[in-house]
Amino acid sequence: MKAADYYLDGPAPETPEPRQRQDRWGETRVVGRPLPRVDAYERVSGSAVYPSDVQLPGMLHAAILRSPHPHARVKRVETSRAEAMPGVRAVITHQTPGADIAWYTDREGATVGHLFEAHCRFEGEAVAAVAAESPYQARDALEAIEVEYEVLPFTSDYETALEPRAPAVRDGGNRASEPGVYERGDLAAGFNAAEVVVEETFRTPCELHTPLEPHGCVARWDGNRLTVWESTQGVYPVQSRVAQVLGLPLANVRVIGHYVGGGFGSKLRPGKYTVIAALLARQTGRPVRLFLSREETLLCAGNRPANRMRLKVGAKRDGTLTAIEFHGLGSGGAYSGSGTGILDWQVRDLYRCDNVRCTTENVYIHAGAQRPMRAPGHPQCSWALEQVMDELADRLELDPVELRLRNLASVSQGRGGIPYTSNGFRECLEEGARTFGWLAARSRARSEDDLARGVGMAGGLWIAGAGGPPSTAIVKYFADGSVNLNLGASDIGTGTKTVMAMVVAEELGVPLDRIQIEHADTATTQFATASGGSKTVPTDAPAVRAAALDCHNQLLDMAAEELAVAPSELKLDGDHVVAVGDPEKRVALREVSDFRRRQVVVGIGYRGPNPEGKATCPFAAQFCEVEVNRRTGEVRVLRFLGAHDSGRVMNRATYDNQVYGGIVMGIGLGLTERRVLDTGQTGKMCNLSWHDYKIPTALDVPADVTSLPIETEDVECNTVGAKGLGEPVTIPTAAAIANAVYNATGIRVWEAPLNATRLAELLAEREA
Amino acid sequence: MLPNFAYVRARTVEEALEHLGGEDTRVHAGGTDLLGCLRDRVFAADKVVSLRDVEGLTGIRRAADGGLVLGGLTTLAEVSRSSEVRGLYPGLAQAASAVASPQLRNQGTLAGNLCQRPRCWYFRGEFHCAKKGGAQCYAVGGQNRYHAVLGGGPCYIVHPSDTAPMLLALDAAVRIVGRAGERAIKLAEFFVLPEVELARENVLAPGEIVTEILLPPAPGLYSSYRKVRERGAWDFALASVALALRSIGGRVTQASVVLGGVAPAPWRAEAVERAIVGTTVDEKTARDAAAAAVEGAEPLEWNAYKLPLIRGIVEESLRRFHDYQPS
Taking the C-alpha atoms of residue A758 and residue A709, their distance in angstroms, rounded to an integer, is 34
CA distance A718 to chain B (A): 42
Domain residue spans of chain A: 3-30+467-606, 52-66+72-152+215-291, 303-465+613-767
Which pLDDT does position B273 carry in this prediction?
Answer: 98
What single letter denotes the amino acid at residue A298?
Answer: L
At residue A302, does pLDDT exceed 70?
A: yes
Flag if A755 and B230 touch (Cβ within 8 Å): yes
At residue A9, does pLDDT exceed 60?
A: no
B66-91 pLDDT tens trace: 999 999 999 999 999 999 999 999 99
B165-196 pLDDT tens trace: 999 999 999 999 999 999 999 999 999 999 99
Question: Would B126 be classed as within a structural domain?
Answer: no
Question: Minimal CA–CA distance to A550: which of A482, A582, A504?
Answer: A504
Question: Would B138 be classed as within a structural domain?
Answer: no
Question: Is A727 an active-site residue?
Answer: yes
B270-304 pLDDT tens trace: 999 999 999 999 999 999 999 999 999 999 999 99
Taking the C-alpha atoms of residue A259 and residue A54, their distance in angstroms, rounded to an integer, is 11
Taking the C-alpha atoms of residue A630 and residue A617, their distance in angstroms, rounded to an integer, is 39
| SS3 assignment, position A516 | strand
Task: Kindly state whether residues B38 and B110 are assigned to the same domain.
Answer: no
| SS3 assignment, position A238 | helix
Q: Name residue A180's beta-bridge partners.
A: A360
Nearest to B305 among A136, A700, A756 (CB): A756
DSSP assignment of A371-401: ---SSTTHHHHHHHHHHHHHHHHHHHT--HH
Number of other residues whose CB lies within 10 A of the CB of residue B238: 27
Which pLDDT does position A155 carry in this prediction?
Answer: 98
CA distance A144 to chain B (A): 14
Looking at domain A3-30+467-606, does it have CATH number 2.60.40.290?
no
| B contacts of A66 (beta carbons < 8 Å) | none
Interface check A668 vs B, CB under 8 A: no
The model's confidence at residue A336, banded by pLDDT at 50, 70 and 90, is: confident
Strand order in the sheet with A196-204: A180-184, A356-364, A321-333, A307-315, A196-204
Flag if A631 and B230 touch (Cβ within 8 Å): no
DSSP assignment of B69-134: EEETT-BHHHHHH-HHHHHH-HHHHHHHHTSS-HHHHHH-BHHHHHHPPP--HHHHTT--BGGGT-
Question: Minimal CA–CA distance to A595: which of A571, A578, A575?
Answer: A575
Task: Kindly state whether residues B49 and B196 are assigned to the same domain.
Answer: no
Range of the domain at B185: 60-115+158-324
| B contacts of A450 (beta carbons < 8 Å) | 316
Strand order in the sheet with B47-50: B6-9, B47-50, B25-28
A260-288 pLDDT tens trace: 999 999 999 999 999 999 999 999 999 99
| A contacts of B233 (beta carbons < 8 Å) | 697-699
DSSP assignment of A185-232: S-HHHHHHH-SEEEEEEEEE--B----SSPSEEEEEEETTEEEEEE--
At residue B22, does pLDDT exceed 90?
A: no
Which pLDDT does position A575 carry in this prediction?
Answer: 87
Task: Kindly state whether residues B170 and B281 are assigned to the same domain.
Answer: yes
Flag if B309 and A758 touch (Cβ within 8 Å): no
Do A262 and A211 form a contact (C-beta atoms < 8 A)? yes
Classify domain A52-66+72-152+215-291 by CATH architecture. 2-Layer Sandwich (3.30)
In chain A, residues 673-692 whose CB comes closer than 8 Å to chain B: 676-682, 684, 686-689, 691-692
Task: Kindly state whether residues B251 and B301 are assigned to the same domain.
Answer: yes
- Stretch A413-433: mean pLDDT: 98
Nearest residue in B to A759, CA atom? B305
Flag if A757 and B313 touch (Cβ within 8 Å): no
The model's confidence at residue A4, banded by pLDDT at 50, 70 and 90, is: very low
Question: Minimal CA–CA distance to B67: which of B184, B183, B177?
Answer: B184
Nearest to A761 among B126, B238, B305 (CB): B305
Which pLDDT does position A26 carry in this prediction?
Answer: 87
Classify residue A531 by burial, with Cβ atoms within 10 Å: 0-12, 13-18, 19+.
buried
**Chain centroid offset of residue B170 CA:** 12
Nearest to B126 among A629, A677, A684 (CB): A684
The model's confidence at residue B324, banded by pLDDT at 50, 70 and 90, is: confident
Looking at domain A303-465+613-767, does it have CATH number 3.30.365.10?
yes
The active-site residue out of A14, A727, A761, A767 is A727
Interface check A768 vs B, CB under 8 A: no
Q: What is the mean pLDDT of chain A?
A: 95
Which pLDDT does position A21 carry in this prediction?
Answer: 62
Nearest residue in B to A763, CA atom? B308
Q: Supply the CATH number for residue B12's domain.
A: 3.30.43.10
Question: Would B132 be classed as within a structural domain?
Answer: no
Task: Kindly state whether residues B198 and B66 are assigned to the same domain.
Answer: yes
- Stretch B138-151: mean pLDDT: 98
At residue A651, does pLDDT exceed 50?
A: yes
At residue B47, does pLDDT exceed 90?
A: yes
In chain A, residues 618-657 whose CB comes closer than 8 Å to chain B: 629, 631-634
**Chain centroid offset of residue A381 CA:** 16
Question: Minimal CA–CA distance to A738: which of A444, A384, A430?
Answer: A384
Half-sphere CA count of A631, side-chain side, radius 13 A: 18
Which pLDDT does position B325 carry in this prediction?
Answer: 66
- Stretch A308-315: mean pLDDT: 98
Question: Minimal CA–CA distance to B42: which of B115, B97, B118?
Answer: B118
Interface check A760 vs B, CB under 8 A: yes
Do B268 and B257 form a contact (C-beta atoms < 8 A)? yes
At residue B127, does pLDDT exceed 90?
A: yes
Which pLDDT does position A14 carry in this prediction?
Answer: 46
Nearest residue in A to B234, CA atom? A691
**Chain centroid offset of residue A69 CA:** 30
Task: Kindly state whether residues B266 and B284 are assigned to the same domain.
Answer: yes
CA distance A1 to chain B (A): 36
A186-229 pLDDT tens trace: 999 999 999 999 999 999 999 999 999 999 999 999 999 999 99
Flag if B230 and A696 touch (Cβ within 8 Å): no
* DSSP 8-state code for residue A455: E
Find the helix packing angle between A733-745 and A652-667, rounded to 10°: 60
Do A373 and A207 form a contact (C-beta atoms < 8 A)? yes
* DSSP 8-state code for residue A76: E
Question: Would B41 be classed as within a structural domain?
Answer: yes
Which pLDDT does position B326 carry in this prediction?
Answer: 59
Question: Would B289 be classed as within a structural domain?
Answer: yes
Taking the C-alpha atoms of residue A216 and residue A51, their distance in angstroms, rounded to an integer, is 8
Question: Would B202 be classed as within a structural domain?
Answer: yes
Classify residue B263 by burial, with Cβ atoms within 10 Å: 0-12, 13-18, 19+.
buried
Contacts of A380 (CB under 8 A, 6+ apart): A204, A304, A307, A309, A328, A343
Q: Supply the CATH number for residue B201's domain.
A: 3.30.465.10
Do A724 and A462 form a contact (C-beta atoms < 8 A)? yes
Nearest to B308 among A450, A676, A760 (CB): A760
A360-378 pLDDT tens trace: 999 999 999 999 999 999 9
Dihedrals φ, ψ of A102, to 5°? -70, 135
CA distance B233 to chain A (A): 6
At residue A8, does pLDDT exceed 80?
A: no
Task: Kindly state whether residues B38 and B81 are assigned to the same domain.
Answer: no
Looking at the structure of chain B, the number of domains it has is 2
The model's confidence at residue A445, banded by pLDDT at 50, 70 and 90, is: low
Task: Kindly state whether residues B92 and B218 are assigned to the same domain.
Answer: yes
Nearest to B145 among A139, A698, A757 (CB): A757
**Chain centroid offset of residue B17 CA:** 24
- Stretch A530-546: mean pLDDT: 96
Flag if B127 and A450 touch (Cβ within 8 Å): no
- Give me the torsion for CA of B245, B249, B251, B255, rounded to 10°: -10
Task: Kindly state whether residues B20 and B44 are assigned to the same domain.
Answer: yes
Taking the C-alpha atoms of residue A34 and residue A507, their distance in angstroms, rounded to an integer, is 18
The model's confidence at residue A456, banded by pLDDT at 50, 70 and 90, is: very high
